[in-house]
Structure 1
Amino acid sequence: MGIVATLSLVPAAPVPTALAGGTDTVDGAQTVEIADGVEAQKVSQESYTAATGPQTLVAGGTNVDWAKLVLIDGDWPVTEENITFMMRWTRQENGADNWWNRNNPLNNGQGSGGGSGLGSYVDLVEAAFYAAQNIKSGRYPAVDAALQRGDSADATAQAIWASPWASSHYGYGTHWSSRPYEVIEAPAEAWGR
């Protein structure tokens, strides 16, 4: 019974266009006759894509994973330029070796209990959510727009320098490093694992 049910769900094989509307031979051994007006069936070509989800990023546990999580939470494209910008920014705020400091990599005040950015979050997942929420709040429209374009880490950096995020404005670039970033894993407890 199960085999019959399964076979009834299998779509009919498409009719080759060479055979539609006439008679033709296949391998010279058989004759196939198809009534006039019969057209080949259209076959649906489904498409699937995969995206990195929060659980995968938390399991990875690195600063690159956190940067991607912020981008996903902000609904910005996860491009190499956006990741590079986020990596440079977190390095400016807390340094590379302690980027997860206080579970607040960007020294964000929103939702952290420290309006000046010195608060902390329960874990890095919450920190990513609040960082994205703060950037999208309307107070940083040029940063939001640059991240939405996702095409230039340098242009996004210039947007953050010109914004009120840091009162120092990162010296308008003089206190900003563009050297390659290091991938560093945070302790499991910083991720709430």
Structure 2
Amino acid sequence: MSSEIPARRHGRHAAVAAPAPSTPQARSSFRHNIAVGVTALALVAGLFIAPAERAEALPSNATAHLADQEFAVGGAVRAEPVSRDSVSATDGVQTLSSNGTNADWAKLVLMYGGWPQSEQNVTVILRWMRQENGTNNWWNRNNPLNNGYGSGGGAGLGSYPDLATAADYAAANLVRGYPAIVAGLASSASADATARAIWASPWSTSHYANGSHWSSAPVDIVKAPASAW
């Protein structure tokens, strides 16, 4: 029987296996050579796999310093304008009642009607109040415009429990049956324009003599007694 080991072929090339040692001494020497070879390979591999250098830690009080940077903006570049919503406040019932003047009552009517408390609107209502009750007693019967709606008296001779209630009913009556006056107040028309709508309306059976019984002079500001509010 031949001691030769047949060649094992892989693909187109033949690989011949090395014969194993036949004696114990040879086998021991063989194993020793293999161990030495493995150790040498490990040392060589270690030379190529070097650990990464550790970054030196910065002291706890160290700070980073960055160079100053400057940016140049072309002369054609302009900042966009910024628009901000305006904020305004309107006096409420408590403030107007506390102030207590005929101008405050006019504003209260406008507030209840949802109309602007503009100078034109306040002026025309003040003139209207003066025409109905005068200035020095404008709070007469707590009914500054002699309004018949909700006052319990026909022809505007009724009264209200307080001036705040009177303002509410005055606005309600205008909304329910006086569209031309409401249009003037809603658009903040001139005091003269809204006055003409008042003269033409059925609020007064005399129609204020079509304006002949109506004064456009400035109205004095007078405070009503606290009990009227």
Secondary structure of 1:136's aligned partner: helix
Secondary structure of 1:71's aligned partner: helix
- Say if 2:202 is the partner of 1:164: yes
- Say if 2:171 is the partner of 1:132: yes
1:171-190 equivalent positions in 2, closer than 5 A: 171-190=209-228
Select the structure with the greater relative contact order (CA < 8 A; seq sep ≥ 6). Answer: 1
Secondary structure of 2:155's aligned partner: coil
Q: Which residue of 1 aligns with 2:135?
A: 96
Alpha-carbon distance, 1:107 to partner = 0.1
RMSD: 2.0
Of structures 1 and 2, the larger Rg is shown by 2
Alpha-carbon distance, 1:145 to partner = 0.5
Q: Which residue of 2 aligns with 1:20?
A: none
TM-score w.r.t. the length of structure 1 is: 0.75
- Say if 2:209 is the partner of 1:146: no
Secondary structure of 1:147's aligned partner: helix
Alpha-carbon distance, 1:115 to partner = 2.4
Alpha-carbon distance, 1:30 to partner = 7.0
Aligned residues between the structures = 153
Question: 1:110-157: CA deviations, max 9, x gaps?
Answer: 0100121000000000000000000000x2110010111112100111
Q: Which residue of 1 aligns with 2:91?
A: 52
Q: Distance in 2 between matches of 1:28 and 1:92?
A: 79
1:53 aligned partner, one-letter code: G
Q: Distance in 2 between matches of 1:153 and 1:50?
A: 23
Secondary structure of 2:132's aligned partner: helix
Q: Distance in 2 between matches of 1:47 and 1:88?
A: 31
Question: 1:5-54: CA deviations, max 9, x gaps?
Answer: xxxxxxxxxxxxxxxxxxxxxx96479xxxxxxxxxxxxx7764322111
1:20-99 equivalent positions in 2, closer than 5 A: 29=68, 48-99=87-138
Moved over 2 A (4+): 27-31, 45-49
Q: Distance in 2 between matches of 1:122 and 1:175?
A: 29
Structure 1 contact 79–151 (Cα < 8 Å) conserved? no
Secondary structure of 1:84's aligned partner: helix
Of 143, 154, 163, which residue of structure 2 is paired with 1:115? 154
Unaligned runs of 5+ in 1: 1-26, 32-44
Alpha-carbon distance, 1:73 to partner = 0.4
TM-score w.r.t. the length of structure 2 is: 0.63
Q: Distance in 1 between matches of 2:216 and 2:197?
A: 15
Unaligned runs of 5+ in 2: 1-65, 71-83
Question: 1:58-101: CA deviations, max 9, x gaps?
Answer: 01000000000000001111110000000000000000000000
Alpha-carbon distance, 1:185 to partner = 0.2
